[in-house]
Structure 1
Amino acid sequence: MNGRKSVLMVTGAGGQLGEEIVRLKGTPYEIIGLDRLQLDVTDAAQCMNAVASIKPDIILHAAAYTAVDQAESEPEAAWMVNVAGTSNMAKSAEAVGAKFCYISTDYVFNGNGREPYREDDLTEPQTVYGKTKLEGEQAAVQYSSKSFIVRTSWVYGKYGNNFVKTMLKLASERSSVSVVHDQIGSPTYTYDLGRFLIELVQTEAYGIYHASNAGKCTWYEFAQAIFEENQLSMKVEACTTEDFPRPAPRPLYSVMDHSAIRQNGFTDLRPWREGLQAFLKELNS
């Protein structure tokens, strides 16, 4: 390696996870991030050329079509990014011998579970977004011989829009908010997820991983915690999923079991409330 730092290439570097990873301090990598203006993942030749010129050791593929409701009316657009785009990047990684890490989602399951989903549980996506992300997983494994699939859920962080920022904004505009109390999951702080991904890609422990902050809550409980931790007096009213009909059905249960993290000796992500506290501390500084 003649003293050269390994190169980690990040797609979707303008998104909330991609930007978090690009800005992580103290990693063993030279991190090169490309956003959607710098790299159109749906263009196979562009992907091949970008990877050939950067010569990364690892590609962390965070670029995705994530507009869950919009995907229902734009299935082709979602497919182009999540499936064709992933195929293009996985093939490009394979061409230079790079490891390939694909970020996936809890939406690959049907969301009707009662026990935390294991990595080998039956997938049964109920939305265009979930179906295209699952096809993306299959493309990653098909075209890359060194692939990591990392499913996560309820992501929030410093960059981009997310539930925590929305709640804080609402707290400055009104005195009460209605939040669904019948969807259960695990909020995930991008910094904690990013740190795990950096630890993971240094290894050759390929396969599927579930990575979210530990523990579970409902969106209603998450909202309450956000206001409590920020010492904001906001009335949170519980409502049901049926009160907020959306084009894409939301999973009622998104909790994931982290058995692959445990079995491979990785550090699990801290409890979700601790992640939230760390995020708010960073945001408020």
Structure 2
Amino acid sequence: MIILVTGAAGMLGQDVVAELARRGHRVLPMTRTELNITDLSQVRQVILSGQPDIVINCAAYTAVDQAEQDRERAMQINGLGVGNLALVCGELEIPLVQISTDYVFSGQKPGAYTVFDQPQPINAYGWSKLAGEKYVLQLLQRFYLVRTSWLFGLYGNNFVETILRLAQERKELTVVDDQHGCPTWTQDLARAVADLIATGRYGVYHVTNQGATTWFGLASAIISQSGFDTVVKPVPTSAYPRPAARPVNSVLDSFPLKETIGYLLPSWQDALARYLQLRKGGTR
């Protein structure tokens, strides 16, 4: 297939491009400078020129706290930009993969969120991502709407890298222990997306590494697996006031992923171990 990937220089985008190329697809990687998704005429020109069989949108505004003060920019990229892609893909009858987030949910549900639950964001970032989802649902018949969560990877700033850096600088870390989610390695997510688009079974999917934890639980695992003697202590979210509210529970239920691609992603603990090994120069 000819596959156009937006946000190709980002943390997820780089892994998606690499995975698709490894499988023999012809990939058209578009960085932010090569394709500004907020420019409808440019979106139409690039897609018409590339003639892709499918478009995967990895471009996003991801600064959750900054979005509270920069709502217009977040909405332009995550909302209207996705709308531009959906409009052009709809006109040309090209399927679109839209990467969304657990932060479209309020976090008030006691259990894991399913694809049937109604989104209700509690911060500007979540609202902007939900706007993008709505454009996809309204403008397209052939789409894969992929919600994921707590991403970490080799090619960008993320929680795992932050903890590894802080562990070298400090003897003690305090990390919030009352937000629950599913840490997900971008490489595992990229593989699942590549398998998903091969099925032709369009719809909404939740794609994360299996299992749930808190930021404290994830930090503790990072420290333990990396061999640091840094002490990690749990604290409530109230100890670290942030501009953007966070969902208390954004755990995602993966149904019907296994029924569609034949497997669930490995546990987040397994993904973390493989990620840390790769950072040390191990094999992919």
Same topology, TM > 0.5 = yes
Q: Which residue identity lines up with residue 128 of structure 1 in the other structure?
A: A
- 8 Å Cα contact 1:41/1:86 also seen in 2: yes
Q: Which residue identity lines up with residue 7 of structure 2 in the other structure?
A: G
What is residue 32 of structure 1 aligned with on the other side? 28
CA distance in 2, matches of 1:128, 1:28: 38
- 8 Å Cα contact 2:174/2:232 also seen in 1: yes
Say if 2:16 is the partner of 1:21.
yes
What is residue 5 of structure 2 aligned with on the other side? 10
Q: Which residue identity lines up with residue 32 of structure 1 in the other structure?
A: L
CA distance in 1, matches of 2:13, 2:79: 18
Deviations 1:48-69 (A, max 9, x none): 0000111111100111111111
What is residue 259 of structure 1 aligned with on the other side? 255
CA distance in 2, matches of 1:167, 1:90: 37
CA distance in 2, matches of 1:33, 1:144: 22
Q: Which residue identity lines up with residue 8 of structure 1 in the other structure?
A: I
Q: Which residue identity lines up with residue 9 of structure 1 in the other structure?
A: L
- 8 Å Cα contact 1:57/1:97 also seen in 2: no
CA distance in 2, matches of 1:211, 1:68: 20
Once the two structures are TM-superposed, the CA of residue 182 in structure 1 deviates from its matched residue by 0.6
- 8 Å Cα contact 2:196/2:261 also seen in 1: no
What is residue 170 of structure 2 aligned with on the other side? 174
| Count of aligned positions | 280
Q: Which residue identity lines up with residue 271 of structure 2 in the other structure?
A: G
How is 1:72-111 mapped onto 2 (pairs within 5 angstroms)? Answer: 72-111=68-107
Deviations 1:147-190 (A, max 9, x none): 11000000000101000111111111111111001111110000
- 8 Å Cα contact 1:99/1:147 also seen in 2: yes
What RMSD, in angstroms, separates the aligned Cα atoms of the two structures? 1.1
Say if 2:236 is the partner of 1:240.
yes
Deviations 1:100-128 (A, max 9, x none): 00000001110122101010112111111
Once the two structures are TM-superposed, the CA of residue 31 in structure 1 deviates from its matched residue by 1.6
What is residue 61 of structure 2 aligned with on the other side? 65
How is 1:75-154 mapped onto 2 (pairs within 5 angstroms)? Answer: 75-154=71-150
Over 3 Å counting, the alpha-carbon distance change for 1:148 and 1:134 in structure 2 is same
Say if 2:151 is the partner of 1:155.
yes
Once the two structures are TM-superposed, the CA of residue 270 in structure 1 deviates from its matched residue by 0.5
Once the two structures are TM-superposed, the CA of residue 14 in structure 1 deviates from its matched residue by 1.6
CA distance in 2, matches of 1:92, 1:33: 18
CA distance in 1, matches of 2:12, 2:154: 9
CA distance in 2, matches of 1:130, 1:163: 19
Q: Which residue identity lines up with residue 190 of structure 1 in the other structure?
A: T
Provide TM-score, normalisation by structure 1: 0.96
Larger deviation: 217-226 or 264-273?
264-273
Q: Which residue identity lines up with residue 133 of structure 1 in the other structure?
A: K
Once the two structures are TM-superposed, the CA of residue 74 in structure 1 deviates from its matched residue by 1.2
CA distance in 1, matches of 2:120, 2:24: 37
Q: Which residue identity lines up with residue 264 of structure 1 in the other structure?
A: T
Runs (5+) with no aligned partner, structure 2: none
Once the two structures are TM-superposed, the CA of residue 264 in structure 1 deviates from its matched residue by 2.5
What is residue 270 of structure 2 aligned with on the other side? 274
Runs (5+) with no aligned partner, structure 1: 1-5
Deviations 1:79-98 (A, max 9, x none): 11111100111122223322
Which residue among 170, 181, 193 is the counterpart of 1:185? 181
Q: Which residue identity lines up with residue 137 of structure 2 in the other structure?
A: V
- 8 Å Cα contact 1:214/1:269 also seen in 2: yes
How is 1:35-46 mapped onto 2 (pairs within 5 angstroms)? Answer: 35-46=31-42
